A and B are shown apart, each in its own frame.
Chain A
């Protein structure tokens, strides 16, 4: 029986996610997965802290391959680094085997990735530099409205008359929100308006490539039920000429998709390269 242990470290702009996986004759099993918000701390410190927690929780004494993704290129104990879209595509297939595309919506940007059933990236598109389609923007708005992150989605679902806001510029959108508050628009309708604006952008991204029938949502925004609903409604309203709208597939572990993909590709590389000294050992 061949056992390989790998770790995937996804350094995002808002959080660090670490996954430790064990592969027995190639069959993967997640041993631990831990994330932590960066919150103005030194990224290296956060990585070390989350890695220590994840390895302790997994109970492993050594890791064969430590794979990084996202902004994790400089992690000193890494074996290899994979680009974000490569890992999110593979992580999506692990969590949702029928996925044909990924919408990775994170703190600072969003990207749409189309892949084949092996996880090979076929095409991708990213949002431009404006922050209006990002989790950070949504978080800022929630703070202005005095709403916690966990409340954003459920509140958005309660909206009855959503207010449109700028989908192009975060500065204009913030001005729109201030105007809405002063006009007495309800928090639910404001949040749903923002979700509609964001989902419009995301749908355009996805439609610019052949996304297929199942779109997996990864990144920090995947857990926002209001955004998922707005995206489903956006596609339903488009009345695509060919077939039904795609299924939007969030997952409770969506936030770990990049780290999972990195760990899985790490096992692949470890197998391809042959046995080598462990990349990490317990102190």
Chain B
């Protein structure tokens, strides 16, 4: 019982609730090692606390603090600065989160769902990957004539288009006109056509008016001659 009383008294002393009065416990402390140890611990800490020393701040500490506080502040701003800062920071966080979610919705989710796929059109694939596709071949592995013609026309039209472009004009008409013109009239399909046979002849025949037009315009194109 007296141990509990002593402990309670000691705790009150520690918590500064009452001034220490050990006289009533003197006899008990002399014969109870546990309470003696509690009191010894208490004395030890109280003594140690008297020796707490943490050194001094730098000599310019006060000036540094005051300078930082007064830097760009007046009395009215003193009260608002922390609030403004925290609001701004909060807004920035929300904005970043919204942008991140937007980017995720636009790119990551469709990608994950497989909405972005490689283009099936060979030309588009060529533009996409930079790899030129092999020309289509028949069962014997020989390049098909009609497709070969289309390819050659397309390449030629691109060459003409480049020339056209160098002069500052658009490519659009030329790139579409030339291949379409060839598709409409294929070699040796029209009876009685006395035009020069073969690919070169057809190229010449089809491109002559165009070449002439270009020659008239710019004077250096030789394809139509």
Q: Do A and B come from one complex?
A: no
